[in-house]
Structure 1
Amino acid sequence: MRLSSLAIIWSTGIAIFSMFFGSGNVVFPLLLGAQTGNQITWALLGLTITAVGAPLLGLLGSVLFEGDCKRFFYRIGQLPGYLAVMLILALLGPIGVMPRCFIVAYGAVKPYLPDLSLFIFSLIAGLVTLVLIARRNLILPVLGYFLSPVLLLSLVVIMITGIAKGGPMVSEPYSSFMAIKEGIVVGYNTMDLLASIIFSVSIWLLLQEKLSIKDDKDIKTKLIPTYVWASIVGGGLLGLVYVGLSFSAALHSAALQNTAPEQVLATLAIHLLGSKLAMVANIAIVLACLTTVMSLAVAVVDVIHVEVMNTSLGKKLSYSYGWMMFITMVITVIFTNLGFAAIMAFLNPIMSVCYPAIIVLTVCNILYKLYGFPYVKMPVYSTFVATLLYKGFTMG
């Protein structure tokens, strides 16, 4: 393999890792490790399926559609596809991932400012985010250049220390099947499959430029082989982080008992590194969460702004970009104050029902692009209905 090809593979793989790596990718493996204890190996198998395999599959499918999420979803029908895109944007934005980031940031601050309420923190975080968004072209690259190495280094230190100092794992009442199932559900909660489809355009543009993609032949001979190797790099890095964090939490689950989900990383860092050294990691967590919210807010509002302005109602109301950003942050602050558990209780049923159908849609779209497979509506809707009936049966 030529050096230039290796460089493209590694740069794309790291871009894939950076695209998926966020606060949820840190918190949920820790929660899984603390919860499943000595069954963590089986749980990681389930997590790998839905938090690594499914997003990489979704990214391939959406890249084959040139990063156009509307074309990707419109294959199930224009109205259902449009509603799916708007719902996913809301979940990745102000009613799901964005408030979850604020809560995780609050969890990192809480040990050092115990009297600070979530309400006050969310107001401050919302205002700071709005100010930073106004200068995002300057701030995001600087923070990204400085922040990513600090955060990753902090996590590596926590993982190595956690595994080196770990004691025996607590025996949890999970069978191997139950542990795999728990890992699959936790993988849903990362919501990376949704992110891979909505925000895939950056990976498509990178591969298109680096490989000079011009036609379908180039896609099959250049793009897919490069993407497969790059996904091994990006997915492998993500998997290593999951393994390290999950085992660290499983080996120190006693220290994490009765810890709020958003405070698990901060508690583990203090337990392993001490209060002063852990402060560096916690500052990195707070900044990472804020930059994630900034990036998501800009991406979500950009799409919604275009969609609303293209409607007759949007033209009559003359929505401004600034007001839409302000409203987005207000909704984010409101949902933040519901708390982590309430947000997850709201998201879990949606993810559990929708994820299998979106995976089937992804597979159908890949087969369509590569082999002309014509069927999509029947497989997707059948999967959705079957999952909905199964969830209703198990909950009843």
Structure 2
Amino acid sequence: MEKKTLTLNESITIGLMLFALFLGAGNIIFPPYLGQLAGDNIGIALVGFLLTGVGLPLLGILAIAKAGGDLQTIAGRVHPIFGIVFTAIVYMAIGPFFGIPRTGTVAYEIGIAPFLSVQQQASSLPLFLFTLLFFTIAVLFASNPTKLVDRIGKILTPILIVVIGMLAVKSILTPMGSINAPVGTYTTEPFFESFLQGYLTMDAIAALVFGIVIIQAIRAKGVTDKNVILKTTAFAGAIAAAGLAAVYLSLGYIGVTSVDAIGLQDNGGSIIAMSARILYGDFGGIILAAAILFACLTTAIGLISASAQFSNKIYPKIPYIAYVLIFAAFSTAAANVGLTQLLAISLPVLLAIYPLAIVLVILSFFDYAFGRKPFVYIIPLMLTGIISVFDGLRAAGIEFQAIDALLNNIPLHEQGIGWLLPAAIGTIMGVFIARRMMK
């Protein structure tokens, strides 16, 4: 039955689902680490992080909604072949080849392993049994994409919010310590350092993958009008962004007040684990385990569903549920025997494609002003790609000293965003050419 619009409650539920899809284990363990290092500069550091850690994913969701539902539509404006190839690389990299297996492994290492004996941790059987159960549950939730809103937005998200809220509220009511001086780069460049860290969360790519899940969820409610879908997606994106911001602020506060109690730690996982036990005793470990498990599970469900929907669109002869089972089975195997090898391949791929995805998203918002000519995309993407591909190769251990030395002369290259200025110059060139062609 066709509907003109969704109720407020339905829109909020979709927004909560999107929030849960974004909030993975990495999003939980990073802000406490930022808080410890930022110290007195926590305010400006969180502003920088929120701009890229929340702002870019929101732009990605809006870009997908504006384009009509998927990344392929945007990428296809460059060239149809590029649209298919680039989109497939994005989905496979952040899906079964990287993102999905990692959700199972991280959930086990942080949520389950601490409760096992040393002998049990040394055995491969507990990890296998856990990932088998973990991805079986993910399959049950992802088996019917039209039910994702009810299953995640109304069931898993509230639980996730409660367990994170318990940690945040307790840390505010009974702070673990005072705020100390900043450390390292956060002493002199807190905004820029956190801005880069937010960019490196790679949630902007996740937004391009989850966009299709949100659009399908809205359409499953009977809404077909493109403007209504765009407005509803924007509303859901705003809810998700607000939720992420609240979590980042809360966990950042936990980190910045934890130094006196636990000292400086090497990673956010240690910080949040120790802080949970200080705030709630042994029960704190259970709270943290619940938060990590639900965060990883919702992300796994979203990635499996999105990857299956895209694959079914490209090759519809294989049904959606078959893709769900294939990706879940592959991810279970990868999480147990091949994750290290997959990471060695996938991380460089992500570093190579992430800047391209950002440029695509930004250009999609104003390309109509220049007749959506391919040159508006091709030139900045070529310049961006040259830099990002070599960044990916270097991450894979493949170095070209002469080229690397040349690239190091580009502003901001050492900070990981050397593609920014070339992309801007390429955009200006593309706009100039497009305007000439339109005359």
| TM interval, short-chain normalised | 0.7 to 0.9
> Which residue is equivalent to 2:277?
270
Once the two structures are superposed, the pairs formed by residues 1-396 of structure 1 within 5 Å of their partners are 7=9, 10-105=12-107, 106-115=109-118, 116-117=121-122, 119-133=124-138, 135-136=140-141, 137=143, 145-164=154-173, 165-171=175-181, 172-175=183-186, 178-205=189-216, 214=225, 219=227, 227-254=233-260, 255=262, 257-258=264-265, 261-304=268-311, 307=314, 322=325, 325-336=328-339, 343=343, 351=350, 353-368=352-367, 372-374=371-373, 375-385=376-386, 392-393=407-408, 394=413
Structure 1 portions without partners, runs of 5+ = none
Q: Which runs of 5 or more structure 2 residues have no equivalent in the other structure?
A: 392-403, 416-439
* Cα distance, 1:180–1:4 mapped onto 2, change above 3 Å: same
Aligned partners of 1:133, 1:4: CA distance in 2, in Å?
27
**Structure 2: distance between partners of 1:175 and 1:148:** 33
CA contact (8 A) 1:10 1:230 kept: yes
* Aligned partners of 1:108 and 1:263 also within 8 Å: no
Structure 1 CA distance, aligned partners of 2:366 and 2:222? 22
Would the alpha carbon gap of residues 14 and 121 (structure 1) be closer, same or farther in structure 2, given more than 3 Å must change? same
Provide the aligned length of Structure 1 versus Structure 2.
378
For 2:308 and 2:184, the matched residues in 1 are separated by 44
Identity, % of aligned pairs?
22
Query: Are the counterparts in 1 of residues 49 and 194 from structure 2 also a CA contact under 8 Å?
Result: yes
CA distance in 2, matches of 1:223, 1:297: 23
* Alpha-carbon offset, residue 236 of structure 1: 1.8
SS of structure 2 residue aligned to 1:168 = coil
Alpha-carbon distance between aligned partners in 2 of 1:187 and 1:60, rounded to the nearest angstrom: 19
Contact 1:93 1:300 (8 Å CA) reproduced: yes
Task: Provide the secondary structure at the position in 1 that maps to 2:185.
Answer: coil
Q: Deviations over 1:206-260 (max 9, x none)?
A: 5567795546xxx3xx555555555433312211111111121121135264455
User: Is the contact between residue 15 and residue 238 of structure 2 (CA under 8 Å) also seen in structure 1?
Assistant: yes
Q: Measure the CA separation in 1 of the matches of 2:59 and 2:333.
A: 34
The one-letter code sitting in structure 1 at the alignment partner of 2:382 is: Y
Give the Cα separation in 2 of the matches to 1:322 and 1:206.
20
Higher relative contact order (CA 8 A, sep 6+): 1
Residues 102/337 of structure 1: CA separation in 2 closer, same or farther (3 Å cut): farther
Please tell me the residue identity of whatever aligns with 1:268.
S
- Contact 1:55–1:192 (8 Å) recurs in 2: yes
1:261 deviation in Å? Answer: 4.5
Deviates more, 1:386-395 or 1:294-303: 386-395
CA distance in 1, matches of 2:152, 2:209: 23
